[in-house]
Amino acid sequence: MRLRYLWLWLLIAWLAFAPIADAEMCRQRFGQTVCILKLKRSAKNYWEYRATVSVDGEKQRAKEIYNCRDRTLTRKGKYPIPFEPNSPGKLVCDLFKKS
């Protein structure tokens, strides 16, 4: 009986102290490494994503809003800018594209 409790306690302790997975989603695109560091979908506008992106290891601006419906990028409450041809915006929007 004591052995069962010991095994149960060891199992709980092992599960409680397991490290949290911290993975970045990176892709090679057009000779650059584009990584999505943080991604959050808007609850109100499901086509908008707030993302923090790094290109070739350099973190881009703090938080940008990617509008996948209009294919625009908004930085800190400014006016929307259309996606550039090789921008990370296409990668952000393609993650959750419905097939």
Instruction: Read off the pTM.
Output: 0.66
DSSP string, 39-78: EEE-SS-TTEEEEEEEETTEE-SS-EEEETTTTEEEETT-
pLDDT digits (tens, 9 = 90+) for 23-77: 667 888 778 888 888 888 888 988 888 888 888 887 776 778 889 899 998 887 7
Q: Give the whole-angstrom CA distance, residue 19 versus residue 81.
A: 39
| Phi, psi angle pair for 36, to nearest 5° | -95, 110
